[in-house]
Amino acid sequence: MNLDERLQNVTVIGAAGKMGSGIAVLVSQEMSKLKLKSENKDKIFRLNLVDITEKVLDGLRSYMKMQLVKAAEKSTVLLRQIYEDRKDLIENGEIINAFVDDTYALLNFTTDYNIAKDSHLIFEAIFENEEIKIKVLKNLKEICSNDALFLTNTSSIPISYLDEQAGLGGRIVGYHFYNPPVIQKLVEIIYADNTTEELKETGLEFGKRLRKKLVPAADISGFIGNGHFSRDGLYAMNKVEELKDEYGYHGALYIMNKVSQDFLVRPMGIFQLIDYVGLDVFQSLLRVMRTHLKLEHLNSDLLNKFMDKTIAGGQNPDGSQKDGFIKYEKNRPAGVYNIEEGKYYMFDEEWAAEIDKKLNPTNEKFAPWRALLMDAKKMEKLETHFGNLKGMNTYGSNIALDFLKTTKEIGENLVKDGVADSEKEVNDVLMNGFFWLYGPINNFI
Amino acid sequence: MSYFRKKIYACAPYYTVALGTGRKEFHPKKLRPGIEHYIKEAGLGSISQIQNPENIDEGVIGNFIAARFCKQGNLGGFFPYVHPTFQYKPCTRVEGACDSGGLALTTSIKTILADLADVVLCIGVEVQNSVKAIYGADFLAAADWFSGNRKKGHVYFFPDLFSQRAGACFEKHGHDKIRAGMAQWYVNAVENARKNPESQEYHNKNSDLFGTGMMKPNPKAFCEHINVFDCSKVSDGGAAIIFASEEGLKKIGVDKKDAIEVISFAQVQDNLTTPPPDLTKLSTCEIAAKRAQERAGIKPSELGVLEVHDCFTIAGLMAVEAAGLVRYGEGADFVKEGNTKLDGIIPTNTTGGLVGYGHPTGATGVRQACDIVKQLSGKSGDCQVEIKSDKPFGMMSSMGGNDKTVVAMIFQK
C-alpha cells in the first residue's frame, strides 16, 4: 500500500491536544490536495480526529478552521492552480474558502476511537504518559487492520518499548513534531529495533510532502531534542539552588532566565521555555527518562515543588501563556516566582534593577535574538558577541560562559552516547526545533 | 496661447501620514482610523491654510474602492463632515482606479474652467489595511478588466502584471541593467522617504538598501521577476489641495505668490479590455506626458521636478522614459547614475513616491500634486530641491490600471 492510498483514511488520536491539533492541520491539507486531484474525484477521503470529550472537539473545530484559513492564505499560488478549472472561483478569498470547506469536509470529529478501524495510517499524539499510550496502542491494534501503520508523537518514550508492550510487531515509528507543528520545521524520526522498511519509507516520504526537516535520532529515551532540553533545564534549575541563598529563589530564576536569553542570544529564557512547554510536561519528561535511562539525577526538587503547588505553566485554551516560573502580563514575562515565599516578584521593582547592574555593570547592549534572526552576518556577529563575553569577566558573562560550556557538553554527550549520529544532528535539532541561532556544539567556547 | 481659457491656481497642499507596514505606529491587529478620519484630516489640513472657507464652492474627492476596503460609498457626503461650508453645495466622488486622485484634480479644474466654481477643494483618499494583502489584491484587481482577466491572473494580480513588464524589459534591454535600475529606484525612494515624516518608509533603518533591492524574487511565494521591495506600499492615507481661479484666490484670501499656477493637463484613457500594446512601454503615460507638455509649450528638459506613478520600481523606470526624459531602455541607467535623486538633473518623487511615501491609491494623484506645489513654493522641508529659473516647471503623472487611465499635469513656479 503506498502513501497516497494510506492517506485516504487517517486517524489522529489525541487530536485536540497541542500537538495533535497541529498534526491534524498538516495531515488534512495533504489529504485535501490529494482529494482535489482529478483522478481522485470519486474516492472517499476521511481524516478521523479523535479525542476524549465533545468539549475539546469543539475547540478543535474552531482551531482547524482558523489554521486551515491561515494555511490556505499562505499557499494561494498553488491553490489557484488546483482550482484552475473551477470557473466560479475567481478571487483569492473565494479560492481560500473553497479549500477550507473542501478540507473541512474530510474531517470526522469523534470521541470514539473505534472509528480508526478503516484507517491505514494512525498518528498517536496523546499526553506523554506511557501507561496510557500503551493501552491506547494495544486497543488500536485490536481495532485496526494488520497493515495499519502507527506514528507516535512521543517526545521521550523509547519506540521499541512501546512496540513491544503494545505488540505492534514493528508497525510503529517515532514521529516527534515540535510545538507548534504547523510552524516548526523539525520532525525527529525514531525507528524501533524492528520498525518495518515500509513504515520507514512512509515516514520519510510523508515528511518530505510536509516539507519538514526530518532528523533521525536513536531510540534512546529523550532522543536528541528533549535529551538536550531536559539536561539544559536541569542545569539551570540546579544553578538556581546554588544562587538562591544570595538572591532568593526569584532572583536566582531571574538571573538564569535572563542570562540564557540575553547573554546566550536565545529566543526565550530557559524558564520561559519550560513555562511554554509546561512544567507538567517537563516533569513527566524527566520521569520517563529517569525510568528508561536509570539515571536518578534526572530530577529536580525545585520543579517538583512548583508542581506540588500546581503552578504548571502551559497555555490557556485561547493560546495565552499561563503563569509558571514566570508571571505573564499580555503574554510577556512580567515577574518571577519565589517558591519559599509563595509570591511573584515583579520585574519593574528595585531588586531586578540591582541584579541587572550586577550581571551587566557596563550596560553592554547585546543584539537580541530577533534582530539577528534574519541577519546574513549573524554567525560573524555571534562570534564577536561571544568573543566579547570572554573578555568581559563580569558576573553575568561568567554565568553565561559556564552555561554555554555545559550546553556544549550536553550536546557532545548525546553524540558520545549514540543518541545522535553526529554533531550535525544535535545542532540541526536545536536550531530547527528550538529556533536557536547556533548549534550547542560550536567553537564559541 | 495658454491652454486654459483662464488662469488656474493650486494652493494649500496637505497630506496625511501614509499608514501601513513600516510605520512604527502601525500594527495590523490594532484599531486604526477609518476612512472618514483621513478625509477630514486632509480636508481640514488644506482648509486651515486659507482665510475664508465659506467661499469654497465645491468639493471633489478621488477614491478607488472604499466600497470594498471599507464598505463605504457616497464619499461626497463626507465634505459637510469635513467642514460646514459644504452643506448643500455640490460634492462629487470620482473614480479611475489608482488614478482616481488624478481624475479628482482634473475634475476640480474643469469645474472652474466651466465657470461653475471659483474655488474647489480636491481630496483623495484610500484605506487599504482593512484586509490582508491577499484579499486586497482582489479588490485592486478591479483596476483591470475583472471578468476578462482576473480568473487567469496571479494571486497578486497587479504585482504580476508589472512582473511581466519587468520580465519583458529584462529580455529586451538586459536583465542586470534593468534589475540594478529597479534596485536604485528602491534606494532613492527610501532615502527620500527618510526625509519626509509623513512617509511610510520614514522609519526605515536598513543600511543596505541596494542589497535589499537586489533580492532574488521567489515565484513560489510572490512573483517571477519582482520582489516585495519592488512594490508600492499598502497604505491608508489622504491628501487635499485647493484649486482656484484668480477671482477665487481673492475670495479665499490667498495671495497669488502663495499659489502655484497650473498651466496644462492631459487626461488620457485606453481601452480596459485590450492588452498593453508593448509591455516594455507605458504608452498611455507617454501620450499624456507629451500632450501636457505640448499644451504647456515646454520641453521635458525644462522640468525642474517630477512626480511619477511608481506603483512598482519597474513602473518608475518606465515612467521616467514615458515622461520624455530619456529614450526607452535608458531609464535604468539614467536612474542608476543618480539623475533622478534630489540633487540630480530631474529630481523625481522627492518625498519617496509610491514605493517610499506609500500608495493610498485614491489619494496618490492628489498627493503628487501636493508635492509638486510644495516643491515649487519652496515648502518641501528636508526634501526641498533647488528650482532653477530656467526650469521652473513641475509635472505629475498619475496612472490607473495597467497604463489605462492617466493624468499628467504641469505646474509653473
pLDDT digits (tens, 9 = 90+) for A248-298: 999 999 999 999 999 999 999 999 999 999 999 999 999 999 999 999 999
> A211 with A307, same domain?
no
- The string of pLDDT tens digits covering residues A347-381 is 999 999 999 999 998 888 888 999 999 888 899 99
pLDDT, tens only, A386-419? 999 999 999 999 999 999 999 999 999 999 999 9
The number of folded domains in chain A is 2
Given an 8 Å threshold on Cβ–Cβ distance, is A92 in contact with B220?
Answer: no
Å between B158 CA and nearest CA of chain A: 13
A192 and A56 fall within a common domain: yes
Same domain, A298 and A399: yes
- Taking CB atoms and an 8 Å cut-off, how many pairs form between chains A and B? 27
Per-residue pLDDT reduced to its tens digit, A303-331 = 999 999 999 999 887 789 999 999 999 99
| A295 and A189 together in one domain | no
Q: Could you read off the pLDDT of A220-261 as tens digits, one per residue?
A: 999 999 999 999 999 999 999 999 999 999 999 999 999 999
Task: Check whether residue A189 and residue A289 sit in a common domain.
Answer: no
Which of B134, B145, B160 to mutate to probe the A interface, most A CBs <10 Å? B134
Amino acid at B392: P
Residues A279, A211 share a domain = no
Q: Give the percent of chain A with pLDDT over 90.
A: 90
What range defines the domain where residue A280 resides? 229-382+393-408
> What is the pLDDT, as a whole number, of residue B100?
98
User: Which one of A156, A188, A216 terminates a domain?
Assistant: A216
Q: What is the model's pLDDT at position B334?
A: 98
**Residues of chain B contacting residue A73, judged by C-beta atoms under 8 Å apart:** 132, 134
Residue contact B138–A73, C-beta within 8 A: no
Pair (A146, A265) in one structural domain: no
Residue A435 lies in a domain: no
Residue A444 lies in a domain: no
- A77–B151 C-beta distance less than 8 A: no
- Are residues A77 and B132, on separate chains, in Cβ contact within 8 Å? no
Q: What is the pLDDT of residue A109?
A: 98
Q: Is the domain of A203 the same as that of A285?
A: no
Contact B138 A91 (CB under 8 A): yes
Domains of chain B in sequence order: 8-132+234-259 (3.40.47.10), 143-231+261-412 (3.40.47.10)
Pairing relationship of beta strands B91-94 and B58-62 according to DSSP bridges: parallel
| Cα nearest neighbour of A83 on chain B | B151
Please answer yes or no on whether A87 and B151 come within 8 Å at the CB atom.
Answer: yes
Retrieve residue A229's grid coordinates: 532540553
% of chain B at pLDDT higher than 90: 98
Please tell me the predicted confidence (pLDDT) of residue B1.
59
**Pairing assessment for the beta strands B119-127 and B236-244 based on DSSP bridges:** antiparallel
pLDDT value of residue A318:
78
Residues of chain B in contact with residue A81, where contact means CB-CB under 8 angstroms, are: none
Instruction: Answer yes or no: is A207 within a domain.
Output: yes
Contact A93 B220 (CB under 8 A): no
Mean pLDDT of B82-95: 98
Q: Which of B27, B69, B138 to mutate to test the interface with A (most CBs of A within 10 A)?
A: B138
Is B132 within 8 Å of A73 when comparing Cβ atoms?
A: yes
pLDDT at A445 over 90: no
Contacts of A331 in chain B (CB under 8 A): none
CB A399 within 8 A of CB A259: yes
Average pLDDT over every residue of A58-65: 95
- A22 and A126 in a single domain? The answer is yes
CATH of the domain at A288: 1.10.1040.10
Q: Are A152 and A70 members of one domain?
A: yes
- Phi/psi region, residue A393 (left: phi>0; alpha: psi -120 to 50; beta: rest), is left
Task: Please tell me the predicted confidence (pLDDT) of residue B21.
Answer: 96
- B210 CA: distance to closest CA in chain A (Å): 15
Mean pLDDT of B25-51: 96
Is a pLDDT exceeding 80 seen at residue A172?
A: yes
Domain end (from A167, A189, A216)? A216
Are A121 and A243 members of one domain?
A: no
Asked if this assembly's ipTM is beyond 0.90, the reply is no
CA distance A277 to A2: 35
Q: Do B137 and A92 touch (CB under 8 A)?
A: yes
What value does the mean pLDDT of chain A take?
95
The reply to whether A417 falls in a domain is no
List the CATH number of the domain containing A8: 3.40.50.720
Q: Which pLDDT score, from 0 to 100, does residue A364 have?
A: 84
Residue of A nearest to B138 (CA): A91
Residue A4 has pLDDT above 90, yes or no: yes
pLDDT 10s digits, B257-314: 999 999 999 999 999 999 999 999 999 999 999 999 999 999 999 999 999 999 999 9
Task: Tally Cβ neighbours within 10 Å of residue B53.
Answer: 21
Average pLDDT over residues B335-359: 98
Q: Is residue A433 part of a domain?
A: no
Beta-carbon separation of B132 and A80 below 8 A:
no
Closest of B150, B153, B406, B130 to residue B287, by C-alpha? B406
- A→B interface, C-beta within 8 Å: 73, 76-77, 80, 87, 90-93, 96
**Residue A122 is assigned to a structural domain of this protein:** yes
Q: Is B137 in Cβ contact with A80 (below 8 Å)?
A: no
Query: Chain A partners of B221 at a C-beta cutoff of 8 Å?
Result: 77
